[in-house]
């Protein structure tokens, strides 16, 4: 397709390739033939698509009748009892909203709840951020992190001169799909080193160094998903210098601010390093993890621009992206976030609960590492403690994962990623037994 083709043409072309790709063909055993019950349907030609590789783990888990089954695929926090958690501070904020009889259910503006947008920008960039003080930031409320990425991707496809976005290898499974269908051309840069189960910093710098000038680069702000491997502050600074020298445009995905280390400021350092140099960048925020607002779909997209005038123009075009997509965002979740961020007491209570969640996940890392060491499990498992955030990239291969599912009823993605939040002191021994058996019995 020619470089002069429109973003809409590119999206349609990408969708056609996506639908015709062999990877999207029916799973084994699913016939595309028309059955007698299909006769007369205008959709008889539709084949059954495979389950999402991440969400499908939960589908398989739910079908398993075993009393010892364990779901480590879900990207949601669980208590020590294995239950979903609604933060106390969220319940308090919701009660305030319910008790406020002046609240109505009118549409929000296209860009969302103004107070939510303002407070979200302060949370990620810092209240004293020069970019905010000089009105160089435009923030729009979106449908959690996924929606923020999608809106940002389509804005770039329409208005940015470079249509290539580089994403880390590996990355969250939805990233390539979101950006491809937004109209961008997706390429990868090296990130994870299987040999060290750490960061392939040399490969990362080489790949970004050879990227075309002006390319967009997706960066995980903290707690890289799926690996749990983050650059050090010194490495972030080297990445910043390289990207600015090549005029590469940073697009941060911030899904875990405060949830990774327990500190909101520490988990935002990578973003703030880039904003401090006066350059431009995009940031997608999600409140799914750090406020437990998974189903409320609360997120924000911020674009830091060179001037306030440019920021105003950018916001006007973001409205044109959002309006035909979902018109305007929902009000309830954003109102909860705004209530917590504006009230000092609620904010302080949130930070305490947030740190408690992060600390429990860190504790699970240590317990699992200790359990594997106690069993004499072959290999170096220190990466379990070194990695950060909700997920651990265990290093288990697909055969070992399948073995653990069959023999121990433990469910995770085929790449060996496990959610540490899905573990508890009670289930750590079961997982350690399964890992020990898998690495000693399955190559």
Which residue from 426, 439, 442, 437 is spatially nearest to 70, judged by alpha carbons? Answer: 426
Identified catalytic residue from 200, 207, 230, 253: 253
Phi, psi of 89 (to 5 degrees): -70, -30
Given a contact cutoff of 8 angstroms between Cβ atoms, the answer to whether 38 and 44 are in contact is yes
Given a contact cutoff of 8 angstroms between Cβ atoms, the answer to whether 334 and 141 are in contact is yes
Q: Which residues contact 147 (CB under 8 A, 6 or more apart)?
A: 297, 299, 326, 329
Which residue from 222, 239, 227, 332 is spatially nearest to 285, judged by alpha carbons? Answer: 222
Identified catalytic residue from 92, 200, 236, 289: 289
Given a contact cutoff of 8 angstroms between Cβ atoms, the answer to whether 71 and 61 are in contact is yes
How many other C-beta atoms can be found within 10 angstroms of the C-beta atom of residue 94? 16
Which residue from 368, 365, 435 is spatially nearest to 396, judged by alpha carbons? Answer: 435
- 226's tokens: 């799926």
* Catalytic residue status for 289: yes
* Catalytic residue status for 306: no
Per this entry, what is the length of the chain? 443
How far, in Å, CA of 103 to CA of 101, rounded?
Answer: 5
Identified catalytic residue from 92, 172, 350, 381: 172
Given a contact cutoff of 8 angstroms between Cβ atoms, the answer to whether 53 and 414 are in contact is yes
How far, in Å, CA of 291 to CA of 106, rounded?
Answer: 24
* Catalytic residue status for 253: yes
Strand-strand pairing, 281-286 and 298-304: antiparallel
Given a contact cutoff of 8 angstroms between Cβ atoms, the answer to whether 306 and 270 are in contact is no
Q: Catalytic residue numbers?
A: 172, 253, 289
């Amino acid at each position: 397709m020619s470089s002069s083709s429109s973003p809409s043409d590119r999206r349609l072309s990408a969708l056609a390739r996506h639908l015709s790709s062999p990877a999207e063909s029916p799973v084994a055993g699913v016939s595309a033939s028309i059955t007698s019950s299909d006769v007369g349907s205008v959709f008889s030609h539709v084949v059954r698509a495979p389950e999402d590789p991440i969400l499908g783990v939960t589908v398989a888990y739910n079908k398993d009748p075993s009393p010892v089954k364990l779901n480590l695929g879900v990207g949601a926090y669980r208590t020590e009892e294995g239950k979903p958690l609604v933060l106390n501070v969220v319940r308090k904020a919701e009660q305030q909203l319910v008790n406020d009889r002046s609240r109505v259910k009118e549409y929000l503006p296209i860009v969302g709840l103004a107070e939510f947008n303002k407070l979200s920008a302060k949370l990620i960039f810092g209240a004293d951020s020069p970019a905010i003080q000089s009105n160089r930031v435009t923030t729009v409320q979106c449908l959690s992190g996924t929606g923020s990425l999608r809106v940002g991707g389509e804005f770039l496809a329409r208005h940015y001169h470079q249509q290539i976005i580089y994403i880390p290898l590996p990355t969250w499974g939805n990233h390539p799909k979101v950006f491809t269908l937004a109209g961008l051309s997706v390429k990868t840069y090296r990130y994870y080193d299987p040999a060290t189960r750490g960061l392939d910093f040399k490969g990362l710098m080489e790949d970004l160094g050879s990227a075309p000038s002006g390319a967009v680069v997706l960066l995980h702000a903290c707690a890289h998903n799926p690996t749990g491997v983050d650059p050090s502050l010194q490495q972030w600074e080297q990445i910043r210098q390289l990207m600015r020298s090549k005029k590469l445009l940073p697009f941060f995905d911030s899904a875990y601010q405060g949830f990774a280390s327990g500190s909101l400021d520490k988990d935002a350092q990578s973003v703030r390093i880039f904003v401090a140099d006066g350059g431009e960048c995009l940031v997608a925020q999600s409140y799914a993890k750090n406020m437990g607002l998974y189903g409320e779909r609360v997120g924000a997209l911020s674009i830091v621009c060179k001037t306030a005038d440019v920021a105003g123009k950018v916001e006007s075009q973001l409205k044109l992206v959002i309006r035909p997509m979902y018109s305007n965002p929902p009000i309830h979740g954003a109102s909860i976030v705004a209530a917590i961020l504006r009230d000092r007491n609620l904010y302080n209570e949130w930070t305490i609960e947030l740190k408690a969640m992060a600390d429990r996940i860190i504790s699970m890392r240590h317990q699992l590492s200790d359990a594997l060491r106690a069993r004499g499990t072959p290999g170096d498992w220190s990466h379990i403690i070194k990695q950060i955030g909700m997920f651990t990239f265990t290093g288990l291969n697909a055969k070992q994962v399948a073995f653990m599912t069959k023999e121990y009823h433990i469910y995770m993605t085929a790449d060996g990623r496990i959610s540490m939040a899905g573990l508890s002191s009670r289930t750590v021994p079961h997982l350690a037994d399964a890992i020990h058996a898998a690495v000693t019995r399955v190559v």
